[in-house]
Copies of this chain bind each other. A is one copy, B any other.
Amino acid sequence: MLFCLCLYNPINYMHTLSEENYLKCIYRLWQDKGLKITPTAIAESLGNNPASVVDMIRKLTDKQLINYDKKKGVELTAQGQKDATLIVRRHRLWEVFLLEKLGYDWDEIHDIAEEMEHIKDASLADRLDKFLGFPEYDPHGDPIPKANGKMAKRYSTTLADLKTGGYCRVAAVKDTTSSFLQYLQKLNISIGTKIQLIEKIPFDSSLVISIDGNERTTVSQKFGESVLIDM
């Protein structure tokens, strides 16, 4: 009887804090680029040692949340995708709550949501979603996965991809560090801000832009690659 249970319910739905953070990290790497997800990439992303990552890869493989193949790298299983999506859903919903309901600033919410996303209750995300009015995007412009796992369009074109003279609107940000978000605030850029690319400096790919039709400002290539746009 116990054997049957093991056969048909092989998934352990409770994950540790650490497991959840690895899952989320793998999910993010998978979404960000189509690249192979290596232990080194995960280690860099989490600020951990590759040796620790190898340990966790074994653990998550045993729990059937990922598959690991030296050639293909790490891949989320269907269950792993589901679980990671739920964590991301909770994270983004809490960000909306913190900004809209508690009045936090743009640059403060990420770190707090980083803790709140791990609160485990079967109906919490759905209740919060309803309470917030089923938002489609979080304050950084990232789409919030729905209860069924589906989500709105993810923006992938960056300001650095815009061609000279072109116009765009800021759709999302690729970086959630407070240093970047505070810089954006200083430049008066938020989600929806209209930007024109005036010139691209060949030497270092710096961008000369006009924010909301105002005077020109120069920003770095790194900056341009961190701003996702809608054309």
Contact = CB atoms under 8 A, between A and B. Distances in A.
Interface of A: 101-104, 111-112, 115-116, 118-121, 124, 127-128, 131
7 contacts: A102-B124, A102-B128, A103-B127, A104-B127, A112-B121, A115-B118, A116-B119
A173 to B, nearest CB: 21
Within the oligomer, what is the number of copies of this chain? 2
Listed from nearest, the 8 A-B pairs whose CB atoms lie closest are A102-B127, A115-B119, A112-B121, A101-B131, A102-B131, A116-B119, A103-B127, A102-B128
A126 to B, nearest CB: 10
Contacts of A101: 131
Contacts of A102: 124, 127-128, 131
Given A115-B119, A116-B119, 12 more contacts: A101-B131, A102-B124, A102-B127, A102-B128, A102-B131, A103-B127, A104-B127, A112-B119, A112-B121, A115-B118, A115-B120, A116-B116
Contacts of A127: 102-104
